[in-house]
A and B are shown apart, each in its own frame.
Chain A
Amino acid sequence: MTDDLRASTTATFGSLSQRSLAIAVGLIGLCAGAIVPTYLASDFVLRLGSEGLLLGLLALSVAFLMNQAGLVALGAASIYGGAGYLFAIGMSDWGLSPTAALCVAFLILLVYAAMLGALIVRTNPLAFMMLTLAAGEMISHAVLLEGLRDYTGGADGLVVRVNGSVLGIDALRFADPVQFWCIAWIVTVLIGLAFWAIGRSRLGVVLRAIRGNEERMRFSGFNTFLPRLIGYVLVNVAAAIAGFLHVLNAGFVSPESLGLFVSTNTLVAALIGGISGSLGPILGGLIFSFAQDEFGARGLTQLLTGVAIVLFIVVFPRGVVGGLSSLSKRLGWRREGA
């Protein structure tokens, strides 16, 4: 009895100190990642890196749904671009302060995601993929409607001027590449951690069980609709945050931000990094961003996007992170054997 107690207390203290160590390392990593690159890298590289982080955030949302729920969303662009449009319209046409416009835009996106999700998460995964593609195209057509031209600026898009501060942060900070890198890094890491935690929570377990066999879960008395809807709304929250960060940084929104290619680029970023876990998609976004800089000038981006989808699904289905982790496991096993 006392031995048990002692064992459990040492275990608790052991795991406590381990946990606090992990938290300390994590905090140092978080700060180092935010600060160190700003001294080492040029503004140009920081800008590419920030774009990569935002793409990584989007990729994270797509990968989470793929990994946990087995659903592939091809409509990430509509939330990403929609966030920028709604924010801009809220400030210029509805006369809201930047923070209020952000909150209103966020609420509208939540309602949209919940309504669309309620319609489409009931269908099978293949239909879900087709429907998200269709919904994305719907939004990109809607922005170009002649009747909405006064609001959306048609094919030209909108210039977004933010006066004052957003959520207590001076808007000028978002336009500065160094400070924006810090913001984007911290937000991305926090959301990555949040998704990691959600994946390990009850919601993640239920989602994976539904992915495995929806009918079995339904017959076991689980609600299979609500968890998928919650998952769908949650990933769209991440996509919306990426959209807000993008518009605050870039200062304009254009119909291209709603285009199908944003969605396919997101998919590619997720596939490159690997969809299991939070690290892969973010790394994938960074890789994509720098690769796009390399090949984009030659007009090869879209072609390589297609090649990457085929290559990574057929040859490297686990992506860079998954591939590296299995490689390190294999090496470790060999060392043990020798």
Chain B
Amino acid sequence: MIALLIANSLALASLLIMLSSGLALIYGLRDVINFGHGAIYMLGAYLGYTIALVGGFWLALLLVPLLLALLGIAFEYLALRPLQRRSHIEVALVTLGLGIILGQVIIYIYGGEARSVDAPKILSGSVTVLHLSYPVYRLFLIVMGLGSCALLALWLRYTSSGLYVRAVSQDPSVARMMGINADRLSLLVTSLSTAFAGIAGVLAGPYLSVDPGMDVVMIVNCLIIVVIGGTGSIGGAIIAALLFGFVQVAGSVFLPNLAALVPYILLMVVLLIAPGGIGRGRVMS
């Protein structure tokens, strides 16, 4: 029972980690929360659905992140850079508007009904681990989530670009004085963040449903996680995503009547105890 609970929450947390660490990365560099992140995830899911119909799930998992990385580059050049001198709130509102546009265009193309994506043969069915039968696809999700988490940590810790990202997140002006090109880093980070959102979208297909409301649900979850984690802290976001996944899964088991509210209760409790979130975010007062 406990093992199942933890496995399920890890599966959900995997998706959330991919999305919220992308949000936290952009925030660290640009001080901007991308309110359109949910719509990008939704685009990933719908593109994944279409490509999976034509060329199969694996092709979708390969192609969608590449396509969305291109979208991230466009986002960086067409939105973030021209608006660099505007206030962060205004840029955040622009991303909100862009997200609404993207979401509405997707709904216009695909229509309002929910779509489902089948997992590939190897990943459908279930395996028995320690006398417990568990769906293979969720294990795959956990592996992907923890894997991307580990890759992200390795990149941030052991590469020079990772070092630069950490430096800019900690103190943008000093980092710039030391000769770090924040624009080039931001291009890398933005495309990485949208690519991760694409992977999350494709992975969500067989696990959750692909439907017109998925962008709002996901962006709200991610915002809660980013706030709980301490805005801009990637480690905090990862821990918060794990906590969020666990609380939501446990809530739906133990408090089915209140399950929809449990994440918000978690948010309020964290805000009461630690208004700055659990991570070492640098911005909350």
Residues of A that sit less than 8 Å from B by CB: 70, 72, 74, 119-120, 122-127, 129-131, 133-135, 137-138, 141-142, 144-147, 214, 260, 264, 267, 299, 302-303, 305-310, 313-314, 317
Contacts and interface: CB of A to CB of B under 8 A. Distances in A.
B96 to A, nearest CB: 6
A133 to B, nearest CB: 6
A124 B284 contact: yes
B88 to A, nearest CB: 6
Contact of B257 (A74, A146, A260, A267): A146
Interface residues of B, number: 41
A317 B275 contact: no
A306 B100 contact: yes
B66 interface: no
Given A306-B100, A307-B97, A313-B93, A123 B264 contact: no
A70 B216 CA distance: 24
A122 B274 CA distance: 11
A306 B272 CA distance: 33
Contact of B104 (A70, A133, A306, A308): A306
Secondary structure of the B contact surface, majority rule = helix
A129 B89 contact: yes
Contacts of B88: 125-126
Contact of A302 (B93, B96, B100, B275): B100
Kindly name the residue among A123, A130, A303, A308 whose own CB sees the greatest number of chain B CB atoms within 10 A: A130
Contact of A145 (B83, B98, B108, B261): B261
A145 B258 contact: yes
A263 to B, nearest CB: 10
A130 B271 contact: no
A130 B90 CA distance: 14
Given A135-B264, A145-B261, A309 B93 contact: yes
A175 B7 CA distance: 55
B220 interface: yes
12 contacts: A119-B271, A122-B275, A124-B283, A125-B89, A134-B224, A134-B227, A134-B267, A141-B260, A147-B258, A305-B97, A308-B97, A309-B93
Given A123-B285, A146-B257, A309 B94 contact: yes
Given A122-B275, A126-B231, A129-B89, A310 B260 contact: no
B285 A124 contact: yes
Given A147-B257, A309-B97, A313-B93, A131 B264 contact: no
B100 A309 contact: yes
A126 B261 contact: no
A229 B209 CA distance: 40
Given A138-B261, A145-B257, A307-B101, A126 B33 contact: yes
A302 B224 CA distance: 24
Nearest to B100: A306
A144 B33 CA distance: 29
Contacts of B275: 119, 122-123
A256 to B, nearest CB: 13
Contacts of B268: 119
Per CB-CB distance, the 9 closest pairs between chain A and chain B, nearest first, are: A309-B97, A306-B100, A306-B101, A138-B264, A310-B97, A303-B104, A130-B223, A141-B260, A147-B257
